[in-house]
Structure 1
Amino acid sequence: MASRAMHAVQYSSCREGSSDLKYVELPIPTPKKDEVLIKVEAASICPFEWKIQQGLLRPVIPRHLPYIPGTDVAGEIVEVGSGVKNFKAGDKVVAMLNFFNGGGLAEFIVAKASLTVARPAEVSAAEVAGLPASGLTAHQALTDSAGIKLDGSGKQANILITGASTGSGHFALQLAKLGNTYITATCAPQHVELVKSLGADEVLDCTTPEGAALKSPSGKKYDVVIHCAEPIPWATFEPNLASNGKIFDINPTPGALKTYALKKLTFSKKQLTPVMLNAKAENLEFLVKLVKEGKLKTVIDSKYSLIKAEDAWAKNMDDKAVGKIILEP
């Protein structure tokens, strides 16, 4: 395979936007001992990736330029490394790559076998390609951070999910619905019916004064907030929190990190905690199982061919995608 060429999308500089994405021809990579080579059938992108391209984490990410973005892929294994025993050529899988190396927007990618899981035959590549980064972040925020039990057990919690139509938001909403929860969700007015259909008990139009103030229509105070929207001041959240209310911010800004530190230092019962993804294969397997069972679905905003990645990237930068943007070779 190494002698053959493939198509991929890469950018060569930061802060240039979608116009810097180029459709290029590169050698097909070779899997190392603990890796698998996957022929990509679908990939997805998330808002964080265009922020990386804008230089948010330079020089840490990307480590080197040119850089092939994309961490979430689904496809078929065509080759396995010498140390891989649990996969073989022909297996349908979904995998998460790391942000340091990227590589997802290509016809072939190498992925760590430890972050690759089987995809049931009845589940399409597009359905699961959006799961890894957004789905795992939502799952981690709800379970590891907020302690919500997704089997419905545990004390009932009043939950606010901001940005409930976003990539992570729409997964967080569906997962939270599996727990013993009452869910208030925020979104733009054109997405209210979708958010209701995904399980929200009450929905706030974020463009109204009530929505901007995050006030529950039924007067509830929030035990847990899964914050998936753009930055919102602590002063807006605070009066709506229960006495021990906790905010879990999946897109923490420097201001949010300062609030986190301040609330820790002052021993406040109301807290804000940043959520930094720690991807685990067993959690991805759990999400894929939910998709198979019809308990979780990926809302697909739009699909693009790989050669049209510039258009997909521009839409991603617009930050108005509903659910996930999918690219297919």
Structure 2
Amino acid sequence: MAGTGRLMHAVQYDGYGGGAAALKHVEVPVPTPKKGEVLLKFEAAALNPVDWKIQKAILRPFVPRKFPHIPGTDVAGEVVEVGQGVEKFKAGDKVVTVLNHASGGGLAEFVVASESLTVARPPEVAAAEAAGLPIAGLTAHQALTKSAGIKLDGTGEQANILITAASGGVGHYAVQLAKLGNTHVTATCGARNIELVKSLGADEVLDYKTPDGAALKSPSGKKYDAVIHCATGIPWSTFEPNLGRNGKVIDITPGPAAFWTFAVKKLTFSSKQLVPLLATPKRENLEYLVNLVKEGKLKTVIDSKHPLSKAEDAWAKSIDGHATGKIIVEN
């Protein structure tokens, strides 16, 4: 099928800037899977804030690798063709995958993915639910297990965890995953999402616009062993009084200030730390998350669904920054 001169519908942009208005609907050749790659028929993709931040030139000059660029990295679909050396998959298999940001390719009718970052998707896991998992789910998983040291099998000492922006893409997964461990979870979100975040398992939920919410104070007076920080714009001075003796703030969207605080805390041998997290996708972790969804222990909250032909609406919604859960583009 690939290499037959067939064309497919894709969404791309030609340069930095321009937001949703700069996205173009184009016809481009169906890509050909190389060695170790699979060609997928697109079923659903999830947008992440990093997608439009790349368009705003946050990773310039490294990403994207070239223009025009088809954005999107989190894709669920069906294998239609396999490249040389692919052993795990065959045509007809349902999968979920994570692409790299440099080459992207997610918002298109056909997508080439690396076998090494592609995971089988059982029938119990819908395409849209699976597409939400890669970047957001893996970030939540790594923040909790690697940075905060939480064991998700419920063993380990009890930990008090704070999750900021708990109704967002990463936050809503972080609440659910944290509760698989031996944790007490305090969460912050907007007033309209308090009941949702409670339903995901949070022990106490704060409206971030109230004085206690803005101060990140636990209603039960607990000090936090770790903060999974999914919001932006909260200074270290707000976190510090709420942290336990060896408390850590794990910043999932670290800017220059976060790295500066991290360095200063290291240099002053402070027992309280700010830890910038740059998540690395791993297939076994994605498999673990897909399995949790299959078992009913993790769910993807879907903010909205948009057809590929209206991907710019999804893009604008992501830039707006108030999504509850994941924004999905589907075929």
Q: TM-score range by the shorter chain?
A: over 0.9
- State the distance in 1 between where 2:232 and 2:323 align: 13
User: What CA deviation, in whole Å up to 9, does each residue of 1:49-80 have, x standing for no partner?
Assistant: 11111111111111211111100000100000
1:19-30 matched pairs, under 5 angstroms:
19-30=21-32
Match of 1:256 in 2: 258
Match of 1:70 in 2: 72
Q: How far off its partner does 1:123 sit?
A: 1.4
1:238-317 matched pairs, under 5 angstroms:
238-317=240-319
TM-score using structure 1 length: 0.99
- Pair 1:130 & 2:132 matched: yes
- State the distance in 2 between where 1:139 and 1:325 align: 19
1:121-270 matched pairs, under 5 angstroms:
121-270=123-272
Q: Could you tell me which amino acid in structure 2 is paired with residue 122 of structure 1?
A: E
1:21-60 matched pairs, under 5 angstroms:
21-60=23-62
8 Å contact from structure 1 (residues 34, 84) kept in 2: yes
User: What CA deviation, in whole Å up to 9, does each residue of 1:252-304 have, x standing for no partner?
Assistant: 01111100111111111000011111110000000000000000000000000
8 Å contact from structure 1 (residues 231, 253) kept in 2: no
TM-score using structure 2 length: 0.99
- State the distance in 1 between where 2:265 and 2:68 align: 40
1:84-123 matched pairs, under 5 angstroms:
84-123=86-125
User: What CA deviation, in whole Å up to 9, does each residue of 1:150-182 have, x standing for no partner?
Assistant: 000000000000010010000001000100000
Q: How far off its partner does 1:15 sit?
A: 1.6
Q: In structure 2, the residue corresponding to 1:111 is in which secondary structure?
A: strand
Paired residues, number: 329
Q: How far off its partner does 1:122 sit?
A: 2.0
Q: Point out 4+ residue stretches in structure 1 off by more than 6 angstroms.
A: none
Q: In structure 2, the residue corresponding to 1:261 is in which secondary structure?
A: helix
- State the distance in 2 between where 1:123 and 1:141 align: 24
- State the distance in 2 between where 1:144 and 1:256 align: 18
- State the distance in 2 between where 1:101 and 1:148 align: 33
Match of 1:328 in 2: 330
- State the distance in 2 between where 1:52 and 1:204 align: 31
- State the distance in 1 between where 2:57 and 2:7 align: 29
Q: How far off its partner does 1:231 sit?
A: 2.5
Q: In structure 2, the residue corresponding to 1:295 is in which secondary structure?
A: coil
Q: How far off its partner does 1:37 sit?
A: 0.3
User: What CA deviation, in whole Å up to 9, does each residue of 1:127-169 have, x standing for no partner?
Assistant: 1001000000100010011110000000000000001001000
- 5+ residue gaps in structure 1? none
- State the distance in 2 between where 1:66 and 1:218 align: 52
Q: Could you tell me which amino acid in structure 2 is paired with residue 230 of structure 1?
A: T
- State the distance in 1 between where 2:280 and 2:297 align: 23
User: What CA deviation, in whole Å up to 9, does each residue of 1:166-224 have, x standing for no partner?
Assistant: 10000001000100000000000111000000010000100111100000011000001
- Tell me which of 311, 319, 323 is aligned to 2:321: 319
RMSD: 0.6
